[in-house]
Structure 1
Amino acid sequence: MKLKFLVALGIAATLYSCDDETTGIGQFVADNDMIPAKADSYTIETRSHLLDSVYSRSSTAYLGKFTDQDYGTFSSDFLVQINCPENFILPDRIEEIKEATLGLYYTSYFGDSLANLRVQVDPLTKVIKDDGTDKALYYSNMEPTDYYDKNAAPLATKDYSAYDRTIPDSIRNEDTYYPNVSIGLGKDFCKDFLEKYNYTETVNGKTIHPYFKDSESFINNVLKGFYVHTTSGEGSILYISDIYLHLTIAYWTKTDEDKDTLVHTIVPMSSTKEVFMSTRFQNSGMKELVNDTKCTYLKTPAGLCTEVTLPIEEMYEAHKNDTLNSISVSFQKLKDQSNTPFKMGTPGTLLMVRKSEMKDFFENNKVHDNKTTFLATYDSNSNSYSFSKLNRLISYIFSEIRTEIEKGETEWNNWKNEHKDWNKLLLVPVTTETDSQGNIIGVENDLNVNSAMLVGGEDLNNSSDENQRIKMSIIYTNPVQK
């Protein structure tokens, strides 16, 4: 009897160190005789789930194309607007805009640094009004042809590689060097830009440039934006952190001797968070992996995640009157056996979210609450992702069940039919943003090129060896009446 008491006490001490909030119907009551803590476990089922698109509102743009022997071909391209600061002005007495270049500055890339690709820039023909109401603008399957004329001649093209061999090492090794693809936009673009700038109006006796008074006027009247995409080659994906429109201006000014002289300057305009930018991702070969029964997959961006099915009804029948003190589960990562020279990274963080609530979570910029949404970071020592404090989620679902069951068996069955995914979770690769104190203040879909294979899938779900299947561990207490 004393041994049982000590074991239960040890379990209770462990669970309380993990979770400071117990949930459930029963109330934990300790007295001098016993602490009735018990352990249980349940088998969960997993399968790969295809993500045709993800909500991808990000300050990073992605460009390129890459084919992987296991995950197929992946490509990325983007739409972008250029911001015009309020009351933007160029130097007086402009002779001409000699050159305009679109600069794509990238912090890193995935793939072959020497692979040759060709990028094409097309002007947008339709104004994209980003007032926050059209969430479809930021899904990764948005259709660029809705916003530009694919039959018109391109504004510019440029051959490039992630490692620009035309840059000498003396420049590349400087701290100020920022890798970029610089694309000349041509003389016609420069001439049209200056003509629109030279259009003026007089307001309250002051001459203004109405098309350049703010970003909305600029986008509506001067430059609706660009569609940037690769048209040939493959082998790399650029992670573009800054996008600039550089204008090389020739204008007249006075010397110290009061003589006219022609000088040149570069005026930068940039894409900022105040204007629209969205990347499209396309994958091929994902559907075949969904049908792989030997494991489950994670693939970013906009590729694959893992779906988890919980035995909630079975758990409810056994623990509907218990206090759920601790529930945890781990998902083991399989070793990457591929021999590709360009291995993808491992997703660093997974979001566990109810399948029916994933869309709302990302569209409304929510942060995990450790009640119905949870985060787990990849542990390279154990080669796994571990989730804890899931007792809060299970108790929340128990409350849903209880509400419907109390209405009657018919209503309960109808509710399950109407909410097909009520017992399903998704494990979605994400990135997080933290404040100066290290608190997570933002959670977004992982848009870098990452992948992982997890233990699970239909073969394991149907395995006759229960010890090999994925287990959810539960520690609970029965209500004790004094």
Structure 2
Amino acid sequence: MKVKSIFATISCFIALALASCDDDLNAVGGSIQPPADTISVTTDTVGVKARTVSMKDSVYARTINGVLGKYEDDLFGTIKSDYLCQYFFPEGDKFLGTKQAIDSVQFVIDFNTFTGDTLAPMGLSVYKVVNDLPRNFYTNTDPTKYIGSSPKLLASEAYTISGAQKTANDANTAIIGRSITADLGIPFGQEIFDAWKNKTFTDNASFNKFFKGTYVTTNFGSGSLIRVLYTNIHIYYKYTDVLGNYDNTKDTIRVSRFTLTVTPEVMQLNSIKNKNPEELFTEGTDATYLKTPAGVYTEVVFPIKQIKANIASKHSKTINTALFTIKGFTERESTAKYELGRPTKLLLINKDSVDIFFSGRQLTTNNKTAILGSRDANNIYTFSNIASLINIYKDMDLAEDPTFAIIPVEIGMAAQIDPSTGSTVYVQTGVFNYLQPSTSIIRNDEKNMRLELIYTKF
């Protein structure tokens, strides 16, 4: 259904509802509402100014998944991404048996989505982190300052997406992703084992003091970006299982694996570099742009002063509905062989509140000033009814109209059991800057970049 028809339907619905209420009041008790009192509904449309703004490679970097690689797009320029990460050591985890001997140690990246040329040769490099990772980290921070002046290379490997090993589900019935593996060497695993045996670390906090993490980057190649699902260190070893044979009469040699994984409990921080064409920032055109990770966003100015004047001239008091949608310029979007995807979720938020929203790990649930928009099959992003947001700023004494950022985001969700019904419900657990590769071109003309309003007067 088109936005105009939705808007008309809402207007009619409110008018009919108010008329129905009025009929009921007349029938039940005219003394409640004097005959002179009336309720009227007025619709209004105001234009919204928009422009493209650079993120300057700087957004809050903590995210759900890492991004690795380098990609060049004819319209949106170049993206290069790598990441720093810690590893989680569960308290009580251990190497099994006695007389353990390290066999091999592997660094493994698992991924399930990618952008670009599957045959493009790329080079993986893994460096040891020697300085503590910060709690608040932005994507324009230089990651090399965390690996020291004489970086220690732990592993390296050439790869292509098509050549990456396929990974199957637990039942081995379907391919669910791919993995890139590099050899970390037995001495690395021995160092971890010795520290564990000597109780240098006994929990996650002490482990992250002992081993501060890795910097994962590409040292050559261009043409692909991968979305990293899991980053793991696998230490394969043999051990003696005392009296562990079939009848418990003799020792036996067994093989096992000790795994360290990047999880939500530890830090994973992306570093992004963009080269954005100047054409993206030309104002007065009929388009604005979105580019992730940490590329460009669209900035809009809501004409609050004009809205207040319109309300006064129409003798209205309340904004019941404010509909805001932005429409993709589908026919102008990239037709490159390896097209970047479009973001599915956008955050509408005052530009001065962006940093505190992400660093403070705020949510949009019941949040009147940070509102999610979703993309539909017609390439239209709908923010639903933002009347609560407009009313907040309408009631302020503003020197200038407020400016809002429209930023691609990723939503973290978790399943919970509703105690009243016993059913499973999904609740929002986090809102993150979208750090996967995506682009979108937004229509920026009077017909499409506007705010639809419904006022009521009592």
TM-score clears 0.5 = yes
Matches within 5 A, 1:375-390: 375-381=372-378, 383-390=379-386
Q: TM-score if structure 1 supplies the norm length? A: 0.78
Matches within 5 A, 1:317-336: 317-320=309-312, 322-335=317-330, 336=332
Q: 1:393 to 1:159 in 2, by over 3 A?
A: same
Q: Secondary structure at the match of 1:57?
A: coil
Q: Does 1:90 align with 2:95?
A: yes
**1:87-137 Cα deviation digits (max 9, x unpaired):** 332134335312111111112222222221111011111133x6xxx42x2
Q: Secondary structure at the match of 1:155?
A: strand
344, 351, 357: which one aligns with 1:348: 344
Counterpart amino acid of residue 11 in structure 1: S
Q: 1:177 to 1:10 in 2, by over 3 A?
A: closer
281, 288, 304: which one aligns with 1:290: 281
Query: Number of aligned pairs?
Result: 416
State how far apart, in whole Å, the 2-side matches of 1:397 and 1:16 are. 29
Q: Secondary structure at the match of 2:188?
A: helix
State how far apart, in whole Å, the 1-side matches of 2:9 and 2:155 are. 72
Contact 2:159/2:180, CA 8 A, preserved across alignment = yes
Moved more, 298-307 or 210-219: 210-219
Q: What's 2:438 paired with? A: 450
**1:222-270 Cα deviation digits (max 9, x unpaired):** x221111001012111111112211111223454585555443222222
Q: 1:16 to 1:125 in 2, by over 3 A?
A: farther
Counterpart amino acid of residue 282 in structure 1: K
Matches within 5 A, 1:178-327: 178-199=177-198, 210-221=199-210, 223-254=211-242, 255=245, 258-259=249-250, 261-285=252-276, 287-291=278-282, 293-294=284-285, 295-320=287-312, 322-327=317-322
Counterpart amino acid of residue 400 in structure 1: M
Q: What's 2:13 paired with? A: 13
Moved more, 89-98 or 442-451: 89-98
Q: 1:142 to 1:108 in 2, by over 3 A?
A: same
Q: Does 1:115 align with 2:120?
A: yes
Q: 1:166 to 1:181 in 2, by over 3 A?
A: closer
Q: 1:214 to 1:438 in 2, by over 3 A?
A: closer
User: How far off its partner does 1:71 sit?
Assistant: 1.1
Q: Does 1:78 align with 2:83?
A: yes
41, 45, 49: which one aligns with 1:45: 49
State how far apart, in whole Å, the 1-side matches of 2:10 and 2:47 are. 24
User: How far off its partner does 1:188 sit?
Assistant: 2.9
Q: 1:232 to 1:324 in 2, by over 3 A?
A: same
Q: What's 1:371 paired with? A: 368
Q: What's 1:5 paired with? A: none
**1:264-312 Cα deviation digits (max 9, x unpaired):** 3222222222222111122112554123642100111211111111222
Q: TM-score if structure 2 supplies the norm length? A: 0.81
Moved more, 57-66 or 225-234: 57-66
Contact 1:15/1:326, CA 8 A, preserved across alignment = no
Q: 1:238 to 1:33 in 2, by over 3 A?
A: same
Which structure 2 residue ranges, 5 or more long, are not aligned? Answer: 1-7, 18-32, 416-423
State how far apart, in whole Å, the 1-side matches of 2:228 and 2:277 are. 25
State how far apart, in whole Å, the 2-side matches of 1:180 and 1:105 are. 4
Contact 2:112/2:176, CA 8 A, preserved across alignment = no
Counterpart amino acid of residue 192 in structure 1: E
User: How far off its partner does 1:453 sit?
Assistant: 0.5
Q: Secondary structure at the match of 2:396?
A: helix
Greater strand proportion: 2
Counterpart amino acid of residue 437 in structure 2: V
Contact 1:120/1:229, CA 8 A, preserved across alignment = yes
Contact 2:61/2:270, CA 8 A, preserved across alignment = yes
Q: Does 1:155 align with 2:171?
A: no
Q: Secondary structure at the match of 1:289?
A: helix
State how far apart, in whole Å, the 2-side matches of 1:430 and 1:331 are. 16
Contact 1:50/1:305, CA 8 A, preserved across alignment = yes
Contact 2:50/2:288, CA 8 A, preserved across alignment = yes
Q: What's 2:419 paired with? A: none
Q: What's 1:22 paired with? A: none
Q: Secondary structure at the match of 1:89?
A: coil
Q: 1:195 to 1:39 in 2, by over 3 A?
A: closer
Q: 1:97 to 1:31 in 2, by over 3 A?
A: farther
